[in-house]
Structure 1
Amino acid sequence: MYDLVIVGAGPYGLSVAAHAAAEGLGLRTFGRPMECWHAMPSAMFLKSEPWASHLSDPEGRYGLDAYAASRGVRAEHGVPLPVGFFAAYGDWFARQAVPALDERLVTSVAPVADGTFTVTAEDGETVRTRTVALAVGVLPFLEIPGPLRGLPRRYVTHSSHHGELDGFAGRDVTVIGAGQAALETAALLTERGAAVRILARSGRLNWNTVPPALERGRWQSLRAPHTGLGCGWRNRLYADTPGIFRRLPAATRERIFDSALGPAGAWWLRERFAKVEDVRLGQRVTAATVTADDRLRLDVAGADGTAGVVETDHVVAATGFVPSLDRADVLAPALRSGLRRVGAGGAPEVGALFESSHPGLFLAGLLTAPSYGPSMRFVFGATYTAGRLVKGVRQRLRADGRSGAGRSGGGRIGRPRAGGERVAAGAS
């Protein structure tokens, strides 16, 4: 029986695991480390600053700057880092700070009558645990516009489905969206020889400005302080006070979640994006059908009600992610349906120290953003989350009369190895 099982091995899952291991909890972490990041096109870059992209360990020994130094690289403010470098950093962090990492995926988390949980791995093997931290990242929550749902992936994909984009050379591709994922995907496709258009509901494209120097005059720093979410006092509130955000009225939280830090391209992408010649703003897809010559016909409507048609070989929907519990398929149906929800999107209500309304089930990452604010949509939020969530686990174990003293036993998959070595039993 484990004290804590973590489902997910991205920035949030690995950070929670590092704090739990340091607390001596009987721990198991499931997931392929940094899987989403490894799957991105190699030519993509981090949008966030290096100093705002650390995974979290209690002593702060394994930050991105420490990894960069070990590689002889300087992680500098205002210099974007390749996503592959960040993914490799996450792997390094896991080796340093996360023991007993099992690379199998989890197919089910189900409650047991005695208040514990059964966690089932992809090969059918199970473990029992007193608490669970769900840190499954963003992929389960990807959003595709309604008219495009259900079409085969040969015609429609989400931007997160793609690694390298070389296979689109010579093809006509329509990218839907106006955020960083859409703009960078369009630029990469253009650079690889595709004929690309952008289609977006937004009436304009927004671009982040070049970040000011970290060392500035006192007045400039007071007027627009640096934060891990960008400059400005509003961003500072989102970055530094997620706990206060959680206490706002539900309607206020929902409004801010829907509007704060909206779609925008990184400053360093603007010059590359200029090569995308066909940009159609203020338009949305109303219907999509496969044509007789095996292309996709998109019926589109403008903001003024005008109608049009676009024919294309493929659509890439760079339309973000929606933190709805209905998409958290890893939770057993009865557990999922019994959780309290907030907002029209059906996100889970997350209480103090990141515990859901079901005792012992803790949440991390995007699912907590409607409760804790915009920072939980970014790697930056992992630092706020990890230590507090583990504190919540310790409190839950004490409340249930369990010490959380690092006990583990029946139902263990494999054997944890010294030095944080990864356990990949049954991994494909």
Structure 2
Amino acid sequence: MSIPTGLPALEARLAKDLSLLELPAKAWVPEMRHDGRRVWDVLFVGAGMCGLAGAAKLMLTGVDNVVLYDAAPMGFEGPWETFARMQTLRSPKTLAGPCLGLPALTFRAWYEAQWGEAAFDALDKIPKGMWMDYLRWYRRVLALPVVNDTQVTEIRDAGDDRIAVTLRGPQGTRVEHCRHLVLATGRSGLGGGTVPAFLQGIDRRFWAHSADDIDFDGLRDKRVIVIGAGASAMDNAATALEAGAAQVDMLIRRREMPRINKMTGISSQGVVHGMRGLPDAWKYRFNDYVNSEQVPPPRSSTLRVSRSENARIFLGCPVQDVRAASDHVTVVTPLAEFQADFIIAATGFRNDFTGRAEFATFAPHIRTWKDGIYTPEMGKRLPFLTDAPYLGEGFEFLEKTDGACPMLARIHCFNDAAMLSHGKLSGDIPAISAGADRLTRAIVAKLFAADVETHFARLQAFDTPELQGDEWEDATPSLRMTKTA
């Protein structure tokens, strides 16, 4: 009998670990049907890292009627093969990530199974393409039910505790129903990329957001301007340079480059589990401070840009206006006017739902931090923060007006927009397992409570005896005879 090695050995180890822990747990959720078809217990929009981890945790907990829909082709979910243009991940290679407490499910175990412990010790940072390969394996080894090339176009309340989700895919348009909906929509969260006012109205042939699909080969020999100072700005600038851009100018509003990654410096299990329990004022204070200090781009990403002779970095250079001509744009700043062929706006993301037609039926009813939560004493009024949804314990949306949109209690915001309410549990690698656990606990509790009558009926109907009646002899009759005598 041959002993498996490599990934087969790791997969056998994972299977054994799951068996020892009696996972997945037996299915326990009563079946719900509509028009002859089973209603999904949980439907995920998005099958990137957050979607995979959330679905995996639910399925291990016995909620097996789960599905994930993703607009991307198979194996290209999330940002790693699209708008993530770094060469390596920023996160340390040793982080447990989405392993859900299972050592055999970690990136390290996956890497060492193929290339050995010495190779892992020698590895500096995780190449982003390798991280995507790991997530592809994660999906396969856990047999997660992902449906690709399928986009959600509408979400509406179907009554009877059901949510109707309209889907458009290769077979056309259809409607499916679910009891709980999880928006695992990643870094773009709920609103998509932030477009500065000075770019609105400018022909799109002259600019793109850093999260867009950019034709970098088309930038060869071109003059490119990148707006921003974060990791995305550096990575896009470097990609343009490596594609052969003649000149890349980075225009940075700040007079000094941010250097210290504050939240990483205080990372702990206290932050992971404790942030949610803080008073709202403290949550806002933490996020306002980190935003004001800003997160620096990684050293490797910055050097990737500055080593090029075709790169220039301008500090204290905010963009005031952009003017389009027939074949170029002029970018106006306090320092100078820059001529360029193309602009990349690495200007972050927003939470205001504008332009997201699939959220139109419920977005106006969502309570946000500006709806009676934020006060000036908390810190600066920043749209990215005040527009963020004010979420419940299980990442669920809350109503702005009680009773106006009941289905919000069954829609969970498991993406970057949850950061202000829950901390960084639904977007970044370090705490994603804790986020998946919190999401699962909330959904499981609601599913059980919703079917409590069925569960009680099951309790009453259960009649499999453990004792057969022949395990003892009743001495009561003999005691009675003795008393009578």
Structure 1: give runs of 5+ residues left out of the alignment. Answer: 210-226, 303-307, 406-428
- Taking only the aligned residue pairs, the percentage that are identical comes to 22
Note if contact 1:250-1:342 (Cα within 8 Å) is conserved in structure 2.
no
Deviation at 1:163, TM superposition (A): 6.1
Of 56, 64, 80 in structure 1, the residue corresponding to residue 125 of structure 2 is: 80
Residue 149 of structure 1 and its aligned partner are, at CA, apart by 2.6
The aligned residue for residue 409 of structure 1 is none
1:263 counterpart = 2:295? yes
Closer, same or farther in 2 for the Cα pair 1:56/1:275, shift >3 Å? same
The one-letter code of the counterpart of 2:421 is S
Closer/same/farther in 2, CA of residues 244 and 378 from structure 1, 3 Å limit? same
Contact 2:78/2:186 (<8 A) preserved = no
Q: What's 1:363 paired with?
A: 413
* Partner SS, residue 154 of structure 1: helix
Residue 277 (structure 2) aligned to one of 233, 243, 247: 247
Please give the alpha-carbon distance, in whole angstroms, between the structure 2 residues aligned to 1:41 and 1:241. 26
Select 1:281's aligned residue among 285, 307, 315.
315
Change (3 A) 1:14 1:328: farther
Corresponding position: 1:6 with 2:44 = yes
Answer with 276-285 or 254-263: which moved more: 254-263
RMSD: 2.7
CA distance in 2, matches of 1:362, 1:59: 25
**Consecutive unaligned residues in structure 2, runs of 5 or more:** 1-38, 371-382, 399-407, 456-485
> How is 1:194-273 mapped onto 2 (pairs within 5 angstroms)?
194=245, 195-207=247-259, 230=264, 232=265, 234-236=266-268, 240-260=270-290, 262-273=294-305
Do structure 1's residue 321 and structure 2's residue 349 form an aligned pair? yes
Residue identity matched to 2:325: T
1:295 to 328, 332, 344: 328
Equivalent of 1:127 in 162, 173, 176: 176
Q: Is the 8 A contact 1:324 1:348 kept in 2?
A: no
Provide the C-alpha distance between the structure 1 equivalents of 2:453 and 2:105, rounded to a whole number of angstroms. Answer: 28
> Any conservation in 2 of the 1:120–1:127 contact (CA below 8 Å)?
yes
Cα distance, 1:133–1:291 mapped onto 2, change above 3 Å: same
Change (3 A) 1:108 1:202: same
Deviations 1:227-267 (A, max 9, x none): 9x63x3x333xx64344323334343234223327231212
Q: Determine helix, strand or coil for the equivalent of 1:170.
A: coil
Residues 31-69 of structure 1: CA deviation (Å, up to 9, x unaligned): 135342111477622111122362233534322112212
Structure 1 window deviating more from structure 2 (340-349 vs 21-30): it is 340-349
Bigger relative CO (Cα 8 Å, ≥ 6 apart)? 1
SS at match of 2:173: coil
- Counterpart residue identity of residue 196, structure 1: V
Amino acid in the other structure paired with 2:346: A
Equivalence for 1:425: none
- Report the equivalent of 2:403: none
Residue number in structure 1 paired with 2:98: 55
Contact kept, 8 Å, 2:104 with 2:110, in 1: the verdict is: no
Aligned pairs (5 A) from 1:14-93:
14-25=52-63, 26-31=65-70, 32=72, 33=75, 34-40=77-83, 44-52=87-95, 54-57=97-100, 59-72=102-115, 74-76=119-121, 79-93=124-138
Q: Match of 1:180? A: 231
- Paired with 2:258 and 2:344, the residues of 1 have a C-alpha distance of 20
Aligned pair in 2 of structure 1 residues 330, 44: CA closer, same or farther (>3 Å)?
farther
User: Partner amino acid for 1:30?
Assistant: Y
Contact conserved, 2:86 with 2:235, CA < 8 A, in 1?
no
Q: Which deviates the most, 122-131 or 263-272?
A: 263-272
Q: Within the alignment, does 1:336 sit opposite 2:363 as a pair? A: yes
The two structures have a TM-score, normalised by structure 1, of: 0.80
User: What is the one-letter code of the residue matched to 2:237?
Assistant: A
SS at match of 2:448: helix
1:162 deviates by 4.0
Question: Cα distance, 1:383 vs. partner?
Answer: 1.4
Q: Which residue type is aligned with residue 174 of structure 2?
A: E
Rg: which structure is higher?
2
Give the aligned residue type for 1:112. Answer: A
* SS of equivalent to 1:349: coil
Q: Is the 8 A contact 2:101 2:433 kept in 1?
A: no
- Return the TM-score normalized by structure 2: 0.71
Deviation string 1:304-363 (CA, Å, 9 cap, x unpaired) is xxxx321110001112222334465432x2322112111444111111122222221112
Q: Distance in 1 between matches of 2:85 and 2:228?
A: 21
Q: CA deviation at 1:98?
A: 4.2
